[in-house]
Amino acid sequence: MRLEATAFKLRKDQRKAINRWNKFVLGPEYIRRAAYLCPKTREEKKHRKCHFDLLTAVHEAEYSNVKRPIDPKTKKYLEPAHRFEVNIEGDSVSQAKYELFLKYQTKVHKEDVSTWQQKDFKRFLCSGLKRSPADPKSAEKKLGSWHQCYRLDGKLIAVAVLDLMPSGVSSVYIFYDPDYEQWEFGKLSALREIALSIEGSYQYYYMGYYIHSCQKMRYKGSFRPQYILGKVTTSFNKQNSHIDIYRS
């Protein structure tokens, strides 16, 4: 399954998922005080209400983008409820990634923890495609295998495994802390990866395989317009009239 990044049409439920997460990260007290200390103009409020900007929204709650004015009440910088950080790093193995993966596999997929060793994790999610450029400050397009890591208050809570190719961003896997399952990380990570595709000038976003009968994959069907490689049954077409076919 793939979609053309710049043609992506955001749905109401996807917009709601981003807003819910941002409100959780920032917290009601921060939102209230920030609105008072850094008020938006009438034009800014009107524009935000009428135009939802995906690229702005997915980065809004990242700590580096959060406004932290000095609060005259406390004489301290205004801080959000949580420190949320996202960074792209090489697809290397770490103890934190491995432990998070085990927690996800055992609680979400009900797998026996003994079936996964670090070598299995490395073989499954560290493909080792050559990364370029190595310098994170380089303006050159990133290529190769990467891990997009989500941290909340310094704790690793999700990892999106990505293959970055000249023409597209390929989503290999996403695993996250089941304690945060209510925030729909499958949906949130896909939206962030679409934003990454647009920001990095990658034409396509590949969502991997789609099995209509698999409940855990159903969310992929809501990302439109999308294209499926190969034949699709008649019943599939009737239920998903928005899906087209492309062939390699």
The model's pLDDT over 121-165, given as tens digits with 9 standing for 90+, comes to 998 898 778 888 767 677 788 899 999 999 999 999 999 999 999
- The verdict on residue 228 lying in a domain is yes
- The verdict on residue 134 lying in a domain is yes
Is the confidence at residue 248, as pLDDT, over 50?
no
Four-CA torsion 164, 165, 168, 173, nearest 10 degrees: -40
- The verdict on residue 100 lying in a domain is no
| HSE toward the beta carbon, residue 143, CA cutoff 13 A | 8
Task: Read off the pLDDT of each residue in 181-201 and give the average, rounded to a whole number.
Answer: 95
> What Å distances lie between residue 201 and 168, 189, 193, 205, CA to CA?
8, 18, 12, 11
More confident residue, 248 or 210: 210
End-to-end CA gap in the chain: 12
Q: Say which DSSP state 132 is in.
A: B
- The verdict on residue 115 lying in a domain is no
- The verdict on residue 110 lying in a domain is no
Buried-exposed string 64-92: b where 16+ CB fall within 10 A, e elsewhere = eebeeeebeeeeeebbbbebbebeeeebe
The residue segments making up the domain with residue 74 are 2-91+128-245
Give the CA angle between residues 187, 168, 103 to the nearest 5°: 40
Round to whole Å and give the CA distance between 8 and 199.
13
- The verdict on residue 45 lying in a domain is yes
Confidence of residue 231 (pLDDT cuts 50, 70, 90): low
Tokens found for residue 87 = 């960074």
Task: Read off the pLDDT of each residue in 25-49 and give the average, rounded to a whole number.
Answer: 88
Task: Pick the range with the lowest mean pLDDT from 29-33, 185-189, 209-213, 228-232.
Answer: 228-232
pLDDT in tens, 95-118: 999 999 999 999 998 988 888 899
Number of H helices, E strands in the chain: 8, 10
pTM for this predicted structure: 0.87
- The verdict on residue 28 lying in a domain is yes
Angle, helices 12-26 vs 28-37, to 10°: value is 90
Percent pLDDT > 70 in the chain is: 92
CATH number of the structural domain spanning residue 227: 3.40.630
Is the confidence at residue 242, as pLDDT, over 50?
no
Number of domains within the chain: 1
Q: Which residue has the tokens 């085990």?
A: 102
